[in-house]
Amino acid sequence: MTDIHADIEAIRREQGSRLLVLGHHYQSPAVLRHADVIGDSLELARSAAASTAGRIVFCGVHFMAESADILTTPDQLVYMPETGAGCPMAEMADDYQVEKAWRFLQPHGGSFLPVVYVNSSARVKAFCGRNGGSACTSSNAAKVFQWGLAQNRKIFFLPDIHLGTNSAHDLGIPDDRIVIYDYRQPNGGLTPADVERATVIVWGGFCPIHVAFTVDQVREIRSRWPAAKIIVHPESPKEVVRIVDAHGSTAQIIKYVQQAPDGSTIFIGTESQLVKRLAAENQDRLTLKPLHASFCPNMAKTNEPNLLRVLRDWPDRNRVSVPSNVAAEARSCLERMLAL
């Protein structure tokens, strides 16, 4: 009988520094035990950019592997164990729709600067790069917004309605200046007056995993566990974000847990694999529970058998390769973020 775990480890040992395995926090523990680096989108993008490994295997979703390919040299090859692991939020903004929106927004209400969440396709990042904008993650979205606003530019943010709205709110921008572009409607459902009054235009995409958190769940936790703290990811709806104790990116949630006093009970509103792992790692000190169980099925598409298959056979169909013209423009948008 083959031992998948041992086979993967044997290949990793044999490949040494020629191989880099990156694992997103939402991956299962069985996959993460084979990762050289575990991190959120920003940490993994930085690791890819700094790596000299000839082969990078990305255990995450498609846009993350695209970013790794964009940030590495042409002779470094990026693979995914399962290339069908996409991100529904990223797919809610395609470059054709985004260009159309940009053409509509430009004549109205001053100068816009695009800011794209890293959870977007390489083509959408390329749109952002050629229009002078920057990428952001949930860790640094507010900082990137500030960079744009300091240039007296209006922000055109995509694709996540909630991260965009919550980041703008964190900077003190009133709700009536945060205008939603509904990509399913002509001109986003906006009038020229809507565009003119906006400080931030936010694309109407969302993460199905993080919109599962509701005000009713928070009320229920508060009534049953009055001493417990609640923290959620900013891809959650603003109604939830504004009534909980804290909100933050994956890295910020981990830091919140690490800094919590011994004996605390914390309910966490983010992808459940991460909550389960944090609960196991901190079981001697803290009680950590999901605000509501919400697993990302796309993150779950990577497993040990398909990781072993890619490490053993290196099939072409598992490569993620962004066309060079798209990569050049997308790189400028990612590098602007990394420089910030």
Find the shortest distance in angstroms from Cβ 235 to ligand SF4.
6
To ligand SF4, the closest distance from the beta carbon of 302 in angstroms equals 11
Which of residues 8, 45, 56, 89 is near ligand SF4 by CB under 6 A? 89
Tokens 């990762």 -> residue: 35
Q: Which one of 98, 173, 190, 207 is in contact with ligand SF4 (CB under 6 A)?
A: 207
Cβ at position 26, least distance to ligand SF4 in Å: 6
Asked if residue 285 lies in contact with residue 278, where contact means CB atoms within 8 angstroms, the answer is: no
Q: Which is nearer to ligand SF4, 89 or 221 (CB)?
A: 89
Nearer to ligand SF4 by Cβ, of 32 and 328: the residue is: 32
Between CA 201 and CA 154 the distance in angstroms is: 8
59 binds ligand SF4 (CB under 6 A): no
Site string for ligand SF4, 100-139 (x = CB under 6 A): -------------------x--------------------
Site size for ligand SF4 (CB under 6 A): 12
With respect to ligand SF4, which residue has the nearer C-beta, 29 or 192?
29
Alpha helices in the chain (DSSP H): 4-15, 29-32, 41-50, 62-71, 95-105, 122-130, 141-149, 161-170, 192-197, 215-224, 238-241, 250-259, 272-281, 304-313, 324-339
Write down the residue that tokens 């990302």 correspond to.
296
Q: How far is the CB of 210 from ligand SF4 (least distance, A)?
A: 6
Q: Does residue 299 belong to the site contacting ligand SF4 (CB under 6 A)?
A: yes
Both tokens of 266, joined, read: 């914390």
Give the residue among 150, 131, 172, 56 at the shortest CA–CA distance from 330.
131
- For ligand SF4, give the closer residue by CB, 294 or 318: 294
Cα 42 to Cα 24: distance, rounded to the nearest angstrom = 10
Q: Cis ω on the peptide bond leading into residue 159 (within 30° of 0)?
A: yes
Among 296, 326, 330, 333, binds ligand SF4 (CB under 6 A): 296
Question: By CB under 6 A, which span of 3-11, 48-56, 238-246, 293-301 interacts with ligand SF4?
Answer: 293-301
CA dist list (Å): 70 to 34, 67, 217: 23, 5, 40
- 68 versus 209: smaller Cβ distance to ligand SF4: 209
Q: Is 91 exposed, middle or buried (0-12, 13-18, 19+ CB in 10 A)?
A: middle
Structure tokens at 339: 């420089």
- We find the least distance from the C-beta atom of residue 158 to ligand SF4, in angstroms, to be 13
User: Crossing angle for the helix pair 95-105 and 122-130, nearest 10 degrees?
Assistant: 30
Residue 87 binding ligand SF4, by CB under 6 A: yes
Residue 198 in tokens: 């906006």
Q: Which one of 19, 21, 22, 61 is in contact with ligand SF4 (CB under 6 A)?
A: 61
- CA–CA separation, 208 and 235 (whole Å): 9
What is the closest distance, in whole angstroms, from the C-beta atom of residue 109 to ligand SF4 in the complex? 29
Q: How far is the CB of 279 from ligand SF4 (least distance, A)?
A: 18
- What residues line the site for ligand SF4 (CB under 6 A)? 61, 87-89, 119, 207-209, 271, 296, 298-299
